[in-house]
Structure 1
Amino acid sequence: MTTSDQHPTAYDASKYPPVFVTVDLAVFTIRNGALSVLLIQRGDDPYRGHWALPGGFMDPGEDAEAAAWRELAEETGVEQWAGHLEQLKTYSAPDRDPRHRIVSVAHVAFAPNLPAPVAGDDARNARWWAVDEVFAAEDAPPLAFDHAEILTDALERVRSKLEYTTLATEFVEEPFTLAELHRVYAAVWGKPPSLGAFRRKVISTKGFVEATDTKGDTQAAGRPATLYKRGGAAILQPAMLRQHATEQAEAE
């Protein structure tokens, strides 16, 4: 390939309509036993006063992940953490934003005990919302743009991730008890898995968790709880299915 092929001099960018790229983040944690998502209240048009996922336009010279971390810090004060972050999906409906043709690269993230956010940049407010408040409550906040769709997709991604991966351990701080890990599944799925089957699955799956040499608080049975840390496994095989998925499979 010649230099002229790499840098074509005859290229006329004005022949192509402009397309802008943004990032949006669905950030989850567990607060007061409930799966919660971080939302900001928009201070500018469009959708002034509406709640939205944190995000914004990519700057020149940065990739989508760098833009996601920057926007999160600018709008909420939540700095980069050691939790899980991954791209969710690209949202590109032509009319998804009334300003321009804007494509959003959405991300999903989760970590334990994330702090209360502080609104900044163009956000009027920022707070954690219990997921049930956003979707089920009568006074649920209207979300800007197509963020209800993004949040729905992100929630399903997190729920399904817990079925076939060990990423539930990213919701708890080390060391943790199996009871604490069980509460993660209850919060994310909305219904806890059978405690006995859960314990057998976690302990019997090589690399899911690793026992530490320390003990936690005394349990109801009178024995101190074993404390665990994350293991090296990433995939659960076979998966630990949600109850609704199990019932559907049995029905078929």
Structure 2
Amino acid sequence: MIRFICCLILLSISTLVSAEEKLLHADFRHRPPEMIVENNRAAGPLKDVLDEAADVIGYKIEWRIAPFARSLKGLKNGKVDLVPRVIKTSQREKFIDFLGPIGHRQKDIVFLVRKGKEKTINDYHDLYKFEIGIKRDTAYFTKFDADQALHKILLLDDRNMSSMFAAHRFDVMVVLDKDSIESAFKQKDFTDYAYADYKHKQNIGIFYGLSKLSANTKVNAELSRILLDMSQSGRVAQIYQNYKLEAPLRLF
């Protein structure tokens, strides 16, 4: 009888803890300086912002480090709830709700070439002359993404792209995150690169992607409101300052 009562107590405690602990599963990738993975640990302002926003509505974020292609697949099938810094496109809106934006960034698309070759690409038309390394499942800009006449070489991630470029597998690489690709080159002590004269200028919103198939879609409106409040109140800027980073622009 005593054993039975003890089992009931333990079961009740376990049920209570499970009921109180509300989790959101989020993916994280290395995208310096806002998203840093070091020694298999995730850090950066975009992580802190989401952790704080989730805490306000009574949730805890359980983070997983994963390449973006895997995260995007997780958003499609609902196995991942949230992913920071997902670029908003009409195609992605079919399976992602975009929370935010918490700000905007001038995020020009540049084209990486070898030193001395900067003037070989002066406008968009010049791109047709080259094989171009692109990163799988990355949104660059509408015209480029939809252009099937361009010779694009699909690659997995920055590590893969930097290795292939260094090995002369292609001579042009399209780049969204300069800090990230330069970090990959630095790890290889590779310096024979520069940026072409042509670049595509654009301003992008910083969104968090929430899967439309997530079991936690009910947090959509409230979490988005908290994120916007944090941006408007200056809290996002404070978190960025903790990392000695310039806060994103507020365009609202």
Q: Same fold (TM over 0.5)?
A: no
Larger RCO, structures 1/2 (Cα 8 Å, 6+ apart)? 2
TM-score (norm 2): 0.27
TM-score (norm 1): 0.27
